Structure 1
Amino acid sequence: MPKGNILLVDDNKSVLSALEILLSSEYDNVKCLSNPNLITSELRKTQYHLVLLDMNFKAGVNTGNEGIFWLQQIKENHPDLSVVLITAYGDVELAVKALKSGATDFILKPWDNTKLLATIRSSIQLSLSREEVKHLKLKEKELKRVINREEKFIIGSSPELMQVLKVVRKVAKTDTNILITGENGTGKELIAREIHRLSNRKDEMLVSVDMGALSESLFESELFGHVKGAFTDARENRAGKFEVANKGSLFLDEIGNLSFHLQAKLLAAIQNREITRIGSNQSIPVDIRLICATNKNLPELVEKGLFREDLLYRINTIQIEIPPLRNRGNDILVLAEFFLKKYTYKYDKPALKLNNQAQDKLLKYHWPGNIRELEHSIEKAVILSENNILKADDFFLNPLTGCRNKTDSLRLEEMEKRLILLALEKNPGNVTAAAEQLGITRQTLYNKMKKFKIG
């Protein structure tokens, strides 16, 4: 049967019965109303592609003004919906008035079945075309927000990175849900983009959402979308990230930051594979490949009652752990050279090189901020450089992280533990302040406290 939902509105029940019999054999969803006052509520409940509307409802009245009134009401709230007016009292003037008010077509009673079916078919096709155009415009608007960003590459050849990419190639062609874990700045989003690039969905969108930057009040609107008038600032319909990512991939970064009660809403969308925009009752099916990332220990959060166990199982079919930069050996220098070229070009500097002492300093540094910290360090050195050679002194690295020399590893760990204990002692009960004093992130401090069993 042709696609399309039809609403029939006529106070003559014989007419409704005749139309229902005719159209039910052609379309799978035909609804009849004898009271036009129910039109508004019915259109809120169900998405229709055509309204076949009588023009006169009161006995003895044949001006068609009632039909024009209801036509205008429908078009005001559903401008893309096709409305075909039907009446036993038609003339050219009334037909022109109806078309000017937004009617798709005008049919006289008694009707010719063949002509009626042809009119309905073309009117429904018009609605579907408008709906498709509207969806494409919404998708285009979201595309502009995410497409125009700097292209980034996965750089390096260390065994640790090669092992990660080996797993990526294995899982990319599947539709399985993936959880990417690792410290801040290790390149989790780059791995997510590589998974999408190698997947069967590569021609569709990869939509990224930073869950850590998403306020609770905007969570549903951002992920599920909203309809016009759903809340004060909802001035137009908006597709959520799930809808925009349909047929493609959805990347939820920092999912460990999502509050517990919002996790249930996310889980429902993932399980049911459908969403409902705020202010609407209509469910929208979505077909996405889900990729999540976090720098937190989710099993530990589950034990503490801060993360739903069922959500963890749902997002964690395959887990990929990204190694920290300090474990990637010579990749540090490869990345440093890449960033060096990038920022000498950006700031119009002459070609710069790292001398041996600078290279040695970069290799021995612990890099708590990983690749992101390395990039910022290179950028700062390029900006402040006065010569063509960058020396060790040109890099202002945090001395609290120490060096990476394996022979000094035990002594380094002891030093780290003592520094952490000292910072916590100076900032009792304030982990954030202790982390700032140490020059590391709060999450890195938590990880080190766990490592050294500091309660």
Structure 2
Amino acid sequence: MRNGKIIIVDDNEAVWKALRIILSREFQTVVGISDPTLLPALLREEDVDVVLLDMNFGTGKQTGGEGLFWLDRILERKHPPAVVLITAFGDINLAVASLKKGASDFIVKPWDNENLIQAVVSAWRKRRLKRPENTGESVKNERSEVSVNSSDQLINPLIDFLLHKHATHYGKPLPRLTPEARKKLNTLVWQGNMQMLEQSIERALLLKEDTTLTADDFYTETPPDTMEPTLTLEEMEKQFIREVLQEKNGNLTLTAQQLDISRQTLYNKMRKYELSQE
């Protein structure tokens, strides 16, 4: 259970109650309201980590203008919480506008529970790093947690992508990895050695006929003078996203599915890394 406070703002009581049930499993305090005019009072103590904000309030209003208005009001505060916008209409222009204004992410109804939790947890971590009381050792600990969780979101999809890529190339069935084998490959990811990671996976697929690969099937030693420069997690993520985009011919929906993230998160990462669909 994370020590965080989440505010859900949606004029549909059934929606915010459902969201509160989901997020209460992850955070200590989750509050739901139907009226956004209550936000200023709730944000006065500056103890809110994330606001999950609906884009439309009132029957027949589907422009998203109210959501953008309240997004501005939230972000103009001295120490604003992170904001994740949620709407029933997946309008890309609205998504881009909200991200440019400073929203952390954008979720489309009906939502996927795992993607929703991932978006809110990610926003919570970013907010925790910016909190004024986070100094010294507390900042160090928060940054360590963000690094670990960011890698968790990247490592397994990256390994699975490379396994699928080379299994397909050589016409072999997709193998299963033992926990020890995955742990061994994780070490290469942590080292930032993408070249050795891919070579180890390709070599194991070529030499092993079994559908289960163990740690001993992966050769991970290489002479120091042939080691490629270590990549940071961000550099690795950028390279991974670029490769998946190329494989999916720039199809953002398929790319997001392969990466196991929402389209809105993919848009955000593409802007961050200056990646195009080409």
TM-score, with length taken from structure 1: 0.29
Query: How does the TM-score come out when normalised to structure 2?
Result: 0.47
